[in-house]
Amino acid sequence: MSSNLERLFLSHVVSAGIELPEREYEFAPGRKWKFDFAWPELMVAMEVEGGTWVNGRHSRGRGYESDVDKYNAAQIAGWSVLRATGDMVRAGRALSVLLEMIEQRNGSKS
């Protein structure tokens, strides 16, 4: 299920003409971990972290620790995981960071 922030971020991706990401991408066989958005060919993922100002799941003990385990496993597997808060999505900063990462990854392929 998509949150309003995820739908907004996806609309920014579409407007920018970026290749559509895979949604709820499972990157670790045997685990239930999923990325909100993933570009597997680039090994780039974007996580939209909601609830940062309202004591949401990602900012409390167990949820935060689970996220750290997930992001560490992704890093070890070679993924670059970008994270964005709601404010970053709304302001377009999440898209800017993604564009910078895609440019870097595409540049390293040449």
| CA distances to 42, 54, 57, 60, 83 from 102, in Å | 8, 31, 28, 31, 14
What's this model's pTM, rounded to 2 decimal places? 0.84
Residue 55's pLDDT is 60
Q: What range defines the domain where residue 17 resides?
A: 4-109
Residue linked to tokens 């559509």 = 20
The count of structural domains within the chain is 1
Residue 53's pLDDT is 46
Q: What is the CATH number of the domain that holds 74?
A: 3.40.960.10
Instruction: List, run by run, the mean pLDDT of 10-residue segments along the chain (110 residues).
Output: 88 97 95 96 94 54 84 96 96 98 84
Residue 34's pLDDT is 95
Residue 63's pLDDT is 73
Residue 52's pLDDT is 54
